[in-house]
Amino acid sequence: MPRRCKITVLKCNFDKELAPDWVQRPCQAMHVGDAYITDGEHGDKMPQGFCYMAWESLRTIAVTIASGGKVFGLYDTYTGACPNGGRPVIFLMEPYEGDND
């Protein structure tokens, strides 16, 4: 069974001062508690329904975790964020060895 990385939404932030005028609320694509499991031979395939921009910023760490590596050579888990400065979504990334559900 290929190794995977579980990515869980911890927080959906919104900063009115940093968000463009047309943005009025936190990201609506992700919700606190949503969990996604990477796929692919090396855990390098974006989970279905996951935000492309968030994936691009988290992919390298997801592959590191899925392959059994340590983030920065030290950590089994990682807290990361999407690159949307006005309404970033915060994620917990951790190893996952169960079935893809």
What is residue 25's predicted lDDT score, i.e. its pLDDT? 77
- pLDDT tens digits for range 34-53: 999 999 888 899 999 999 99
Q: Is residue 36 part of a domain?
A: yes
Q: Is residue 81 part of a domain?
A: yes
Residue-wise burial string across 14-33, b where 16 or more C-beta atoms lie within 10 A, e elsewhere: eeeeebeeeeeebbebbeee
- pLDDT tens digits for range 52-99: 999 999 999 999 999 999 999 999 999 999 998 888 999 999 999 877
Q: Is residue 101 part of a domain?
A: no
- Number of structural domains the chain divides into: 1
The parent domain of residue 73 ranges over 4-96
Q: Is residue 19 part of a domain?
A: yes
Distance from C-alpha of 62 to C-alpha of 17, rounded to nearest angstrom: 31
